[in-house]
Amino acid sequence: MASRGGRALASAAVRSLLSRSGLQATSEMRLQTGCAISSSWDYNAYLATGRWSRRWASASVGDEISKFDRVTPVEEALTPPSSWYTSTEIFSLELERIFERRWQAVGYSHQLQKPGDFITGKVGRVRYVVCRDDEGNLRAYHNVCRHHAAAVASGSGCISSFVCPYHGWTYGLDGRLQKATRLGGIRNFTGRESGLVPLWVGTWGPFVLIKHRDFSQKETGSEIGDVEVQKQWLGSAAKTLASSRVDASFLHVGKRGYTINCNWKVFCDNYLDGGYHVPHAHTGLASVLNLKTYNTTLSEKVSIQTCGFARSSEDERYRSTGEISSSGVEDVKKKGKGDRAFYAFVYPNFMINRYGPWMDTNLVLPISATQCQVIINWFLEPSFPHDEALLKTSIDTSGAVQQEDIALCESVQEGLQTPAYESGRYAPKVEYAMHHFHVLLHEDLSM
């Protein structure tokens, strides 16, 4: 928030700009710059007068959040205003109210099999390390040294303790401070109370999940049972996911990360349009799907889109889209199962895709109001013949589809930042999962 002096300066600057442009501040042009969302342009006024006029925003973050009305049915609803996708204040609120309150699928069980295995990463403001301790329990901590906040671990691997690279404070896999040198003369310091700060950790199927802990609630322990994780993370959709064989048996075969110049929600919106963009933006993919069979079902925090394959498609075309390999189609035909592509979105930022012998996951990480990172991991059924060349081709071509989406997402972000756009509409029969996503966002942000 701007300081009082800063606000006065900003107001003066706005007044000077208005006077230079011949405009005067009116009640519609209130000059509240503190806590205000960036200003927007009045499109309706432009239509009426042919001239752009700045509509100086007086809205607080709360006002901007409430511009989306979650009660209005999808047939009548406006999409959230562009400020949801551009405002740094709303982005900060999302980190706190969404990313620090919801489970985050940051890893996979194959990465954390034996004592000492660890992974690190960052979701929003939370820099984490997850490990398996000497007793075989999963543990997760903020990757922040209690001395001067350096990261105590980086990358992934297998270790017996975390040694901070800055001044050597050493923590056990159980998070306790084991060693801190040159503290002679220190007072009011208790090593027992200076361990790594824990996060909640749990698993479901192949996924390892973490959640920020609210210490004000005096919670104890660190690992949460699978049943509770399932309830909180997936709710009633867990059954559908399990019956689509989303489980820990898959082999991990590839990983890629993409940094995209768009708000994290733009990427999610793109995923949640019920296949609307597929025939226009992914012509290769459209040729192998039977889009008439596209179906979307909603549950509490999960939406599942499914689509049948086009029976007449040549197998080679599957390969060309990268969404499924030609052998994958053979596998589907032989086994007579899994004849639909299956795309599950788990609120707020995780996607699980199943098609033939494949599973891939997308984790959408917020970086700033206008940038995100998408991490994609590919998995294959263990019984499927392991052909390196085919795997590479499939993942490369899947990456090509990804590039088509990235170009669209970055175009949308640019459009959201222009003065022409305030909010849009939903295609009600296909974009209701997107609407559901926005309703959940509104619930979290209004809390």
Binding site for ligand FES (CB under 6 A): 145, 147-148, 150, 164, 166-169
Segment near Fe ion (CB under 5 A), from 158-166, 220-228, 241-249, 397-405? 397-405
Nearer to ligand FES, 169 or 207 (CB): 169
Residue number, 167 or 239, with CB nearest to ligand FES: 167
CA distance 273 to 204: 27
* Total number of residues that touch Fe ion (CB under 5 A): 1
Select the residue interacting with Fe ion from 64, 405, 422, 444 (CB under 5 A).
405
Which one of the spans 182-190, 201-209, 229-237, 405-413 is the region binding Fe ion (CB under 5 A)? Answer: 405-413
Greatest C-alpha distance within the chain = 79
- The residue (of 8 and 150) whose beta carbon lies closer to ligand FES is 150
CB of 151 to ligand FES, least distance (A): 9
Which pair of structure tokens corresponds to residue 1?
Answer: 């928030």
Residue (36 or 268) nearer to Fe ion, CB: 268
Interface of this chain with Fe ion, residues 123 to 142, rule: CB under 5 A:
none
Check: CB of residue 361 under 8 Å from CB of residue 344.
Answer: no
Find out whether 141 and 196 touch, Cβ atoms under 8 Å: yes
Q: Cβ 280 to Fe ion, closest distance in Å?
A: 10
Q: Is 422 in the site for Fe ion (CB under 5 A)?
A: no
State the binding partner of 166 from Fe ion, ligand FES, none, CB within 5 to 8 A by kind. Answer: ligand FES
Output the six-digit token pair for 115. 């004592």
Q: Rounded distance, CA 345 to CA 440, Å?
A: 13
Closest separation in Å from C-beta 150 to ligand FES? 4
Beta carbon of residue 180, minimum distance to ligand FES (angstroms, whole number): 7
Q: Token digits for 222?
A: 């660190």
Q: Which does 405 bind (CB under 5 to 8 A by kind): ligand FES, Fe ion, none?
A: Fe ion
- Is the distance from CB of 89 to CB of 61 less than 8 angstroms? yes
Mind giving me the DSSP string for 350-391? EEEEEETTEEEEEEEEEEETTEEEEEEEEEE-TTS---HHHH
For the chain, what's the residue count?
447
CB of 143 to ligand FES, least distance (A): 11
Distance CA 86, CA 368 (A): 9
Nearest alpha carbon to residue 366 among 161, 23, 122: 122
Is 116 in a helix, a strand, or coil? coil
Of ligand FES, Fe ion, none, which one sits near residue 101, judging by CB under 5 to 8 A according to partner kind?
Answer: none
The DSSP bridge partners found for residue 362 are: 351, 376
DSSP designation for 254 = E
d(CA 296, CA 349): 18
Q: How far is the CB of 179 from ligand FES (least distance, A)?
A: 10
Closest approach, Cβ 144 to ligand FES, in A, equals 9
By beta-carbon proximity to Fe ion, the closer residue of 381 and 404 is 404
Smallest distance, Fe ion to C-beta of residue 421, A? 21
Give 98's contacts (C-beta < 8 A, 6+ positions apart): 348, 441, 444, 445
Closer to Fe ion by CB, 33 or 296: give it: 296
148's contact among Fe ion, ligand FES, none, with CB below 5 to 8 A by partner kind, is: ligand FES
Nearer to ligand FES, 157 or 168 (CB): 168
Q: Which residues bind Fe ion (CB under 5 A)?
A: 405
